[in-house]
């Protein structure tokens, strides 16, 4: 099983496809994870003061 499928490949045995939808979705997921990590750090700093 391949992890990433190129657009021109004719296979159905893959996990991710190298296309625009996959790129947009992975960018969105990464941004959400970064925002969550920043939120945890900020709330940890805020609650340590009180």
In the numeric block, which tokens belong to residue 25?
A: 């979705």
**DSSP sequence for the chain:** -EEEE-TT---S-EEEE-SHHHHHHHHHHHHHHHHHHHHHHHHHHHHH--
Q: How does pLDDT run across 15-36, given as a tens digit for each residue?
A: 777 788 889 999 999 999 999 9
Q: What is the pTM of this model?
A: 0.70
* Domain range summary for the chain, segments of one domain joined by +: 2-48
Q: What is the per-residue pLDDT for 16?
A: 75
pLDDT surpasses 80 at 6: no
């Amino acid at each position: 099983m391949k992890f990433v499928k190129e657009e021109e490949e004719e296979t159905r045995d893959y996990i991710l496809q190298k296309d625009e939808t996959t790129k947009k979705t992975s960018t969105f997921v990464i941004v959400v994870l970064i925002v969550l990590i920043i939120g945890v750090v900020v709330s940890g700093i805020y609650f340590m003061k009180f």
